[in-house]
């Protein structure tokens, strides 16, 4: 009776698995703060996406971890940069079975760890960053990415990327706008995962956790610029914002269950303080109940296999 009357339920096709691919490694490397998650080699990445496709996941989101970084993130636009190499490998392996998605942001590729280009005073230069994002968009689309995850939170990023994609003939490459992305403490483990070089914080371009209406405003702007999907990030602490965005959006709305959310449940479960399986399922159902059409989660493969 409980199953029959459930108002929300999970499905593998609504789950997206974030994956990290590291340059210069021949084997997967464990991420200490995220038990069970690794930085992949190209070979292990191929195996991981094959498993994801077999499990019926909706997609994978790829993040690159380069060996070398510079002030403007040159590796992000290099066709032979690790993220673009990884994208081609994944498209070749499973491009017809799930949606191959790529993170479009400079933070993994810059030696200062910020999501954009810095000006002479050390501040992120929004408009100069948009030029780099346009180049990244072309590189990722040409590598075969089917959906670009614009996570940098620069003003005008959706319009800038849509314009350059259309001009180059990539009219079928979709845009996932990280529309409401907050300056959160829950990103900590992710920074280990991508070997972030960040010093300081990103509060000048990510949103204030106290602001609910601002999240809706940012989402509305991205809709007007041509976003195909809207993202709210993190998920757990921003379910109200997720609900607000879902209520007004005429495109799909997704949520990212971020590294800190994953790490907290894994750590508590490892100490025997909570029931791991029930906590994972409840956390995901809560995100779905708040209005998410799909969820990025590091448990995507595990949950999909359990659902099957």
Residues 308, 55 contacting (CB under 8 angstroms) = yes
* Residue 80 CA from chain centroid, whole number: 21
In the annotation, is 233 catalytic? Answer: yes
3-state secondary structure 230-278: EEEECCHHHHHHHHHHHHHCCCCEEEECCHHHHHHHHHHHHCCCCCHHH
Out of 170, 181, 202, 288, the active site residue is 181
Smallest Cα–Cα separation from 99: which of 138, 128, 60? Answer: 60
Does residue 124 sit in helix, strand or coil? Answer: strand
Token pair for 178: 């990280």
Out of 143, 233, 296, 297, the active site residue is 233
Does residue 187 sit in helix, strand or coil? Answer: helix
Question: Cis before residue 234, ω within 30 degrees of 0?
Answer: yes
3-state secondary structure 3-42: CCCCCCCCCHHHEEEEEEEECCCCCCEECCCCCCCEEECH
Residue 154's Cβ-count burial label (10 Å; 0-12, 13-18, 19+) is buried
Residue with tokens 């994944």: 90
In the annotation, is 181 catalytic? Answer: yes
Residue ranges in the chain assigned as alpha helix (H): 42-54, 82-94, 126-143, 157-167, 188-193, 213-225, 239-248, 259-270, 276-290, 300-307
Known catalytic residues are 181, 233
């Amino acid at each position: 009776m409980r199953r029959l009357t459930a108002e929300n339920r999970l499905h593998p096709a609504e789950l997206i698995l974030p994956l990290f691919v590291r340059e210069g490694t021949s084997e997967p490397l464990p991420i200490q703060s995220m038990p069970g998650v690794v930085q992949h080699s190209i070979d292990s990445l191929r195996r991981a996406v094959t498993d994801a496709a077999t499990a019926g996941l909706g997609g994978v989101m790829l993040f690159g971890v380069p060996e070398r970084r510079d002030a403007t993130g040159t590796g992000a636009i290099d066709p032979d940069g690790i993220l673009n190499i990884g994208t081609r490998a994944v498209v070749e392996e499973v491009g017809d079975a799930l949606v191959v998605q790529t993170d479009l942001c400079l933070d993994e590729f810059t030696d200062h760890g910020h999501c954009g280009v810095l000006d002479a005073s050390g501040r992120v230069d929004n408009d100069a960053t948009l030029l780099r994002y346009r180049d990244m968009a072309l590189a990722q689309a040409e590598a075969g990415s089917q959906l670009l995850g614009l996570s940098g939170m620069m003003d005008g990023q959706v319009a800038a990327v849509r314009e350059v994609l259309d001009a180059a003939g990539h009219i079928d490459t979709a845009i996932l706008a990280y529309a409401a992305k907050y300056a959160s403490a829950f990103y900590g483990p992710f920074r280990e995962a991508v070997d972030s070089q960040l010093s300081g914080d990103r509060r000048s371009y990510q949103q204030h956790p106290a602001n609910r209406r601002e999240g809706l405003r940012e989402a509305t702007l991205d809709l007007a610029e041509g976003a195909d999907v809207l993202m709210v990030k993190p998920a757990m602490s921003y379910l109200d914002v997720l609900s607000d965005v879902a209520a007004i959006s005429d495109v799909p709305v997704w949520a990212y269950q971020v590294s800190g959310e994953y790490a907290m449940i894994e750590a508590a479960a490892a100490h025997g303080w909570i029931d791991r399986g029930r906590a994972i399922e409840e956390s995901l159902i809560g995100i779905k109940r708040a209005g998410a059409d799909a969820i990025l989660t590091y448990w995507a493969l595990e949950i999909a296999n359990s659902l099957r």
